[in-house]
Structure 1
């Protein structure tokens, strides 16, 4: 419960900042992200969706160490049971993938796993990217 509250605050703060990020192609685009579930947070620190270049971009941030140092070798992004994105990870802490053209929304389960496909951590987010038009 404590992690959900903390991540909800972190996610809300990230969503607040994310809503302010845009470019000349989508000056009125905004995204809201809320953490609605997950594990203990030992690997994935934060996940948010922000507007960028006319689309929504999922950004996943690993904890205090890089993805590789945490033992993770991949991120998998699911919507229900469907695998949407597979992201090989390495020495960085932050990874991004475009999730669609604004408007876009959904509930994603993000899974960090090792080379044996053992789940190390999960985070579930709900997001909505929209324009004021």
Structure 2
């Protein structure tokens, strides 16, 4: 599926938002998720030719975080705090693992692996 707008991208996470709200734990995960979406919006608004190379890795990092949350939220064994901790520790290698690399392998030269 091709995503053509920020609205389409964000709406793809509606199911996750609903699950987070149903869990109704501490509210930390809801706040964390919302913070990521706000930061994404701020980064998109500030992107320019001069800062593209600094901002794209941050956008990829947020995308990795949101996708990790999407995967981890399905496991009821994980608390909100555990989901946040795992997300923060693993997001920088998310695409590497998603593409079949193990953590010790050197990746191809690609923007996809330039996450911050």
* TM-score clears 0.5: no
Q: Is the radius of gyration larger for structure 1 or structure 2?
A: 2
Please, what TM-score do these two structures have when normalized by structure 1? 0.30
Write 1 or 2 for the structure with the bigger share of strand: 1
Please, what TM-score do these two structures have when normalized by structure 2? 0.33
Write 1 or 2 for the structure with the bigger share of helix: 2
